[in-house]
Amino acid sequence: MLEMPEGSIPKHIAIIMDGNGRWAQSRFMPRISGHKQGVEAVRGVIKACMERGVAFLTLFAFSSENWRRPNEEITSLMQLFLTALEQEIAKLHENGIRFKVIGDLSRFDTKIIESIQVGEQLTARNTQLTFTIAANYGGRWDIMQAVRKMMAQAPSLPSHIQEENLSQYLALSYAPEPDLFIRTGGEYRISNFLLWQLAYTELYFTNTLWPDFDERELELAIQSYQQRERRFGRTSEQLRVVLNTEG
């Protein structure tokens, strides 16, 4: 089988960080302890992505469906999000990381919204790694908000409208589409994450629970990615010709 050029590193990795609750419950700890430990895992993965030269990392932290959880868990998650913002933004900036948040922020506390704005502005010119948190994000919400923006821009849309006309309004329009998608926690679903953007992404699922996902686990995912053949609808033979002419 034809593989990708040796050592090829995904430019954009998108991750559904799942399994925090089960990690905690298996230790007879409250679910929030799992979320706290999950923040540690985020630190490790950011560091590993920087070292490997990954340019974009997008993490699903809270879905538009997660409001269905018990109030107590939602409150703790929001508190944890705020603390993490307050403690980590300066460090992200020191490391040259550009910080972004995608999702419908209108439901969040003003303190959280302000911290996000401060963080995004502070790090806007950084070029090392673009680190995006998806919070109160849903793939369908994203497509709908893009449609609304597009319609507001051009109320009478021509019938020859193209994909690019819409995609420029999607929340992640500043990033290339993800090359590698990872979901931890043993579930095999997209859970309304990046629906449009994952169209041709390589998918990787692991049973490892998010708090246990470390540099070595990321390496395994990247190795799996490197074995894939990304045909984008073409045949293997066609790819061989393209690779040969590119030398």
Distance (Å, rounded) from C-alpha 103 to C-alpha 172? 10
Tell me: does residue 63 bind ligand IPE (CB under 6 A): yes
Tell me: does residue 60 bind ligand IPE (CB under 6 A): yes
State the pairing for strand pair 202-205/180-183: parallel
Class of residue 50 by CB neighbours under 10 A (exposed 0-12, middle 13-18, buried 19+): middle
Tell me: does residue 191 bind ligand IPE (CB under 6 A): yes
Backbone angles phi, psi at 12, to 5 degrees: -130, 120
Rg value, the chain, Cα? 19
Q: Which stretch binds ligand IPE (CB under 6 A): 20-28, 45-53, 162-170, 239-247?
A: 20-28
Distance (Å, rounded) from C-alpha 127 to C-alpha 125? 6
Alpha helices in the chain (DSSP H): 20-25, 31-52, 71-94, 110-123, 139-153, 163-167, 215-226, 236-246
Residue 189 binding: pick among Mg ion, ligand IPE, none (C-beta 5-8 Å cut-off by kind): ligand IPE
Tell me: does residue 22 bind ligand IPE (CB under 6 A): yes
Residue 4 or 201 with smaller CB distance to ligand IPE: 201
Residue 65 or 114 with smaller CB distance to ligand IPE: 65
| Annotation says 66 is catalytic | yes
Residue 4 or 57 with smaller CB distance to ligand IPE: 57
Sites of contact with ligand IPE (CB under 6 A)? 16-22, 60-63, 65-66, 77, 185, 187, 189, 191
Q: Which residues are catalytic?
A: 18, 66
